[in-house]
Amino acid sequence: MTPIIEMHGVQKTYLEAGMELPVLRGIDLSVQRGEIVALLGPSGCGKSTLLNLLGCLDRPTRGNYELGGRDVSALSREEQAWVRLHYIGFVFQSFHLIGHATALENVALPLYYAGVDRKTREARATALLERVGLGDRIHHRPNQLSGGQRQRVAIARACVTQPRLMLADEPTGALDSKSGQEVLALLMSLREETALTVVLVTHDAHVASCADRRFVMSDGLIVDIEQREAATHADA
């Protein structure tokens, strides 16, 4: 089976005051469909830069990146936008919801940009909000929702275009432990239902422990790969 993510020798260098600043120094990464993987490492190690490349928000300086078997390393801005809209969902620590829009309007927004008619996009957004447990909150605005509810709206919005890949940047970082656990459980169940691939950046060891594999980064490189141990059950 072709991995959904395949990176070979990916480097990213920025120019700062006329000098080259290497951030990613040679990333090799392969992620299978339906996996949940976590990116770990100290601030400044390159996690956010790697997530931007995975999300087609930026292009590598060197190396190549294949998404679903397609080389997306050197796409134009317009092509990147198309891939983001149709193949990738994004979830952020600060939710990034539109404050004056209802939960329904926030979730339906990507479908508007995709050219889906109003009746269809509202029906799909409503179904997803019901799926994430917010069927009675569809007309609420973000300031009328708790942090955990806002993150569930954000997850529903990320899923509304039926993406193959979800990128989550500290998805529980702004939540209390109970809400964070609920969000993690939701991501796990969505993966089971739809074979969604999830790549998440986290500093939280508990969040990382839910991933199938953990990629530890340092100084722009993946320096360790940790596999989640299979659960063991004592005999009755």
CATH of the domain at 195: 3.40.50.300
- Would 75 be classed as within a structural domain? yes
Q: Kindly state whether residue 158 falls inside one of the protein's structural domains.
A: yes
Residues 136-171 have pLDDT tens digits of 999 999 999 999 999 999 999 999 999 999 999 999
Q: What is the pLDDT of residue 205?
A: 85
User: What is the rounded average pLDDT of the residues 59-75?
Assistant: 93
The answer to the question of residue 120 being in a domain is yes
Would 235 be classed as within a structural domain? no
- Kindly indicate the confidence band of residue 17, based on its pLDDT and cuts at 50, 70 and 90: confident
- Selection from 15-19, 169-173, 182-186, 196-200 with the highest mean pLDDT: 196-200
Average pLDDT over residues 13-38: 93
Q: Is the pLDDT of residue 232 over 50?
A: no
Is the pLDDT confidence value at 59 over 90?
yes
Per-residue pLDDT reduced to its tens digit, 104-138: 999 999 999 999 999 999 999 999 999 999 999 99
199 falls within a domain: yes
Calculate the average pLDDT of the chain.
Answer: 92
Mean pLDDT to the nearest integer, 19-28: 94
Considering the domain boundaries, does residue 163 fall inside one? yes
Residue 232 placed within a domain: no
Does the structure show a pLDDT above 60 at 231? no
Residues spanned by the domain of 45: 5-227
Q: Is residue 233 part of a domain?
A: no
Tokens of 7: 């990176």
Structure-block tokens of residue 128? 């997803």
What pLDDT score does 229 carry? 67
Q: Number of folded domains in the chain?
A: 1
